[in-house]
């Protein structure tokens, strides 16, 4: 498990103690003793360290079963002289390489062209680099003499990514990055932005903030409307359920076969029985008696036949009084 960054070559005390016998590629591929790893060297600028750099170093590390990868990084003076200005300074580029998992050792201020003295000093067995001729420093290919010596091992480039591509993206979207860094607190002087452009970028940032606020309000409004619609749907659904329940209860009570009709029929039957009681049976003793009416008492006045005149009324009263005297 890696617990520390790769050491620098000029600061490490861990030197290869085994005799530096020249190896062929075939011997290296078969594997070497544990105390004699194949020392592979890869160099470059490694500006804006990216996945393409890491993949190249991974290939260099895994070329042989037992290998020790040394990575040389050119200084700012050499790079600015032979290639051009870098985004990262040499210290930043050194540190980026030290924290790559495939790197065993970093060589600072590496030479632009490899010399026999440099190869012997670091006991380098093979040099790993992509096979494309690298023309620089007045040479058509700075690795030509390494290839002729049988010490060159090619690696594959990763298409679609390079330091130049990353810089091109930054230049293409310069306004976006300038505005973002102004918003983060960088000054126009630090960004090399003119006074007019600074005001323009700040105004655009304010416009973007207003757009973001409007967008947030619209999203919140949509969310509120959605919640209202959802709540309305729930209320309508509950109202429909209650309505169906109310109608069902009403029909159960007042429908054609409802409880109210049955109750009304029962009460009507009771009232009819109350108004027209059931007749006595034919065998009743009262049926055997004579239908002749019993004589009314003499004091009962026949209301259906009133006296025709006052005299008749007085005569009837006198007769009633005589009858009373006879009874006495």
Per domain, the residue ranges of the chain are 23-153, 161-259
Q: Which of 89-98, 131-140, 159-168, 305-314 has the highest mean pLDDT?
A: 89-98
pLDDT of residue 74: 96
Mean pLDDT, rounded, for 215-228: 80
d(CA 92, CA 80): 15
Mean pLDDT, rounded, for 81-92: 94
pLDDT of residue 177: 87
In this structure, which topology does domain 23-153 adopt according to CATH?
Rossmann fold (3.40.50)
Mean pLDDT, rounded, for 260-275: 72
pLDDT of residue 300: 47
Contacts of 132 (CB under 8 A, 6+ apart): 157
d(CA 124, CA 71): 11
Mean pLDDT, rounded, for 66-86: 95
Within the chain, where are the H helices? 25-30, 51-61, 76-82, 90-98, 116-121, 144-148, 163-172, 174-184, 195-254, 259-275, 310-327
d(CA 230, CA 214): 24
Which has more pLDDT, 141 or 47?
47
d(CA 171, CA 176): 10
Mean pLDDT, rounded, for 76-99: 95
Q: Which residue has the tokens 């290639």?
A: 83
DSSP assignments along 129-176, one per residue: EESS---BTTBS-TTHHHHHTT-EEEE---TT--HHHHHHHHHHTHHH
Q: Is residue 162 within 8 Å of residue 93, measured between CB atoms? A: no
Share of the chain above pLDDT 70, in %: 78
Question: What SS3 string covers 185-216?
Answer: CCCCCCCCCCHHHHHHHHHHHHHHHHHHHHHH
Closest CA to 44 of 74, 86, 8, 80: 74
């Amino acid at each position: 498990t890696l617990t520390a960054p790769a050491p620098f070559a000029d600061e490490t005390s861990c030197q290869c103690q085994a005799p530096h016998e020249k190896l062929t590629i075939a011997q290296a591929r078969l594997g070497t003793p544990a105390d004699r790893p194949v020392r592979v060297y890869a160099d470059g600028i490694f500006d804006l360290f990216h996945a393409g750099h890491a993949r190249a170093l991974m290939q260099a590390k895994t070329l042989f079963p037992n290998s020790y990868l040394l990575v040389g990084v050119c200084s700012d003076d050499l790079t600015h002289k032979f290639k051009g200005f870098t985004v990262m300074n040499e210290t930043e580029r050194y540190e980026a390489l030290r924290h790559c998992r495939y790197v065993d050792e970093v060589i600072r201020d590496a030479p632009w062209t490899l010399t026999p003295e440099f190869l012997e000093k670091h006991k380098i067995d093979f040099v790993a680099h992509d096979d494309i001729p690298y023309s620089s420093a007045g040479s058509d290919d700075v690795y030509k003499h390494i290839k002729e010596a049988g010490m060159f091992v090619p690696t594959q480039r990763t298409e679609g990514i390079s330091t130049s591509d990353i810089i091109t993206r930054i230049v293409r979207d310069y306004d976006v990055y300038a505005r973002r860094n102004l918003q983060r607190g960088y000054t126009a002087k630090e960004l090399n932005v003119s006074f007019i452009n600074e005001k323009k970028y700040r105004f655009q940032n304010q416009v973007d903030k207003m757009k973001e606020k409007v967008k947030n309000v619209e999203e919140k409004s949509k969310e509120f409307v959605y919640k209202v619609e959802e709540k309305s749907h729930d209320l309508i659904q509950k109202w429909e359920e209650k309505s169906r329940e109310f109608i069902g209860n009403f029909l159960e009570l007042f429908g054609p076969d409802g409880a109210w009709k049955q109750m009304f029929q029962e009460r009507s039957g009771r009232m009819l029985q109350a108004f027209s009681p059931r007749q006595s049976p034919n065998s009743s003793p009262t049926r055997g008696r004579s239908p002749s009416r019993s004589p009314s008492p003499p004091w009962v006045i026949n209301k259906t036949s009133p006296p025709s005149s006052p005299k008749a009324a007085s005569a009837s009263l006198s007769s009633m009084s005589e009858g009373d005297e006879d009874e006495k």
